[in-house]
Structure 1
């Protein structure tokens, strides 16, 4: 075929005979047109990206502000729960609880509800506790705090924890001003948090004076509708909004907040950032308490400066690149035309050598057909196949007539794989490698290294092979083609993939199982060894799995000294009986300290002697802790902290079994607080609970370690005295009786109790012993209370 018949055209439509100047002009104009299209597309993309960046900044700023509002609600709710769960909160307790809450809030305060008839007593008590005069005050016409006039009800600030340097407005009556009064009424009516409209805060520096008052009602513990007062958070919008946000000269957003319930639509907060030229606007709604705030966000000048358009740069670079490319093509086309003339001169010489190669090809063909298990394929410099042996026909399903001179080596390979290898080689070698040369380019450094490839058979199925490619040289050392040798490795790869899949599945299963999975052997001569240990074993023992497999004794060194021998013995017993192994034991870890571990394993006997276990271990420390907490709660009285009736009955049954078996001694002391109902009626149940707690404290300090102190219920208590006869129990009861009378209890004074003592009699049951103790208490009540009674003695 003549050489001119296969010459491609320049750019697909310009003849090779065309002037190089014409080619350069066409390329320059095309490049300029392309630069304009790219610039237009880039401009549209720039606008979309600016809007997206702005929306991301708006969403992030809104989320951060809403989290701050929610955080203030949570902190105030925690302070309210502190007052609801405490009948009486001192100033020190309030300061200790409120101090850590001062984050982005100017102050936290407690204002109790005081009626007109309680004012004088309330002011006197507050003055006494503070050690300085305390008066309920309000703002006068001069803006100063002055004593408040007589009203039916007051809500003065009693405790306050503030960041302000101007002092605390203690005694300030929140009902004195309509704005604060309406906020308190909304909070009391709804029973939830309420927020004031924008106001000037009292006792706050002028820079932080604009803000709101977040109020939470505090109800009485006995009645949810009886309000004791209010806890408040004094919030400066400047501090809440600006702290932690970028400085104005670096902020991308201009922020403005308006209270939607404010009829005047006053600006509650506005940032000092300079507004940009962009017309983008983002609006969101923030919620705090029962108010909704309108948040408006606009891009700042900083945002505009950091998002400038690259349209001018694209046009400039596009024009320069077009000019350079046209100049380059002018040089290449002119040189190509000169080179084609030289090619035509060499063509005649090459055809003469072609005949010689055909003769040599016939001889080589005979040799290649003898290799039936290996595919041997040779190509010319263009990649067209000129040798296809019998092994290649058997492997790929093609005949030599269908391939030689018609197909290229590239057409036998999987196209996607060629593209991937071509891209990889282009990066490695620093130049573009065509897909047709990808299977040959990997062997430029090592001509005898095999690589794995995927071939496509005639029926469309795929075949995995190892390929060894090399170059073919003539007698003068010139490159005349390529030689590729293929070996089918499909079955070998399938076996490797099955093994790898099994290993991945095992690793994935072991990683998702809570705890650790292991295989453990006990060989003769006490040789302990881990055959397999999953990654979970590292977390259980804080030992790397490789270390465990090398030395199993490292795991036993982590076991608690009191448990290690028990664990070893259980493993030996499981090996002896081939029984299921299950143990719970403690481990001492360097980082996490003491932990509880549960292990289970199934043993099997090894043919050569020894035992192999398949099992797992898991951390049950949380379960153990919950069990201990539940047990403690089930036997403890929640008010006084001593044992309850259930624990007393269990211990009494156990002691009765002991004395019936050994004929030892056992006594009980029952006591009932005198006139306890009067204490509750006069001072309240909170004081009554305090009396019970103080009584338990005094009695517990005088009991022996063997005695069991329990609360039967209400104001009745019982002391179980093992190994104690009647006289010893009586002396102990007298000591307890005296400890109550020696010192008064604030604020009720001296608290007395009636004591009854009974000691166990042979063949007597639990009911009989308790009945005699109860009768002794009844006798003490009947004979004047505040005394100790036994079966024989009276005091």
Structure 2
């Protein structure tokens, strides 16, 4: 190798002759370019992340709004079913049913259909019931309520439940107003829920005045025409904005427009400001028979929360590039000054070289006499200066090919030098170049031989032990290195052959989790372990040596309920030569109960018997996680009792049992009275405490066979297997008494309405649930705080 090829460079790639100012400028420009690339990439990534965050927010907001629209339809549908299923509804019954429905709705109302010839009798009847004059009215030309003009049909407001302080204009004929008439006609024609065009609500704040009228017809099963209409007056701002972040904290700006409105009036618009970004999205919301366009834009709050880091990257990158260029300028300039000093010293050493050549001749004669050992000397640059006869015989090179032409590094395997360089650099805290790795020794292995791989002239490899040391002149100055090599190829082969089996077993034991084994089952079911790894000690807490003496100790550790199954599976695997796999429990002296999984592959032995090769592993953590996940999936997190999912599973199982064997089954459902009032007056934290106390009191009175579940909100169910209706009613009375017997902290006495239903022949899940739910409803309508058994509606 030419001598100039091994001349070191600054940082491994900067030439010694390069100008320090040029190096600093190039590094500064490169750093600036890299900073721009990183800033561009960060900007692109920032834009993608912002779009993704915005879409996630839009999807969540749209889902929440659509759920609220659907909830209003469901609430009106429940009021519709209430009138359909009732032959006659009083004002008190209407108020009791409609008042809990007022969440995010301005008002609910009932308006019967009255024909021309029925008007007078209807007005007199209602006047007697109210104890005050009642008339069907409409707005006159001056905007005041006056008796309605003669028409073929009237739809006056009879019952109303509203959040407005002004109340509702009872007797107002809905057919007298075009918007309301249009909604009623569409609902009557389709038989489904209809929505009016946007209207201004009366008696509310101007900000909440924009809204719609949601109408549903009430038709008896035997009637061709509806007997009346139930209505929900909805303020769009009250429906949409309730529960959303405040304007100064909202990330989105929304606008809702009725697509069927020719004037395209805005039903709802956010009060916060639109941001500077162009992010926007459009969705379609449905309510009744109308479709509303939802437009969403990013707000200023969103822009402020998602600022770009491009300016920070540019400033930090520029500063780092400037510091790096200054550092390289200092490094290169100092190295160039040092190289001048080195060149001066090299000139002096060249003169000494002339004097040493005479001594080298004498030393060569001595070295060539050692024909079984390779002795190689180099100068400080690593260029070979001495190559004895033993080196020629060992490596196949002639001295003329090597001296002054090749370096010691060229004789070594490059991969070994790189690995040794990395380990030395880490140990010594400074960089050791690969060309010096074979000569540098750490203080703890000074003058110790080390194994290396050399490359012969023909390309073959030779394993040697090398001992390296430094060469000093008469003044104690370092002038080169001396390396002595011994051929250990045959010795290494013999050592590797002897250690092959041990390495294989150690690798198997180290890489297989748990324990590996070889188990042999001989005639008359005599089993023994012929090999057991150290992992078997952790699995069974038995020393592997003891296992090989007595295999029965393993079966003593297996759980009594599992040992027979494990032994049977082993015999079956031996009989069929099939793969053995089992999961079983063991009882350990120190760690107690653990779950073990074992697998093994059998083979039939020529002399009879079966040999298994397999492993066992501890799966206790996996089993524990499975049990915890199952418990979480069927448990209500607030109260600690079973949840609705577990209730449905148990109810299905009990129904299957009844279909197979007959028997008895009862269901108790209860609903806490006025629970919303507790939350509103005392807060949700107190409400949660009430739920927990109710569950505690009821759980104390239940039997072990009863299944107590939270069905949702303040609604609970108790499934009573092997229990008839009378027994269930008696149990429900005990539960009812346990609730009202003592007041609860902060809220006083808490009551609940109970419904009891029992299973009937050919009854299904839906039938049983419906009868229990109907009993709860009857109990609430009868004044709450009571137990109501199932009954058939006439």
Q: TM-score, normalised by structure 1?
A: 0.49
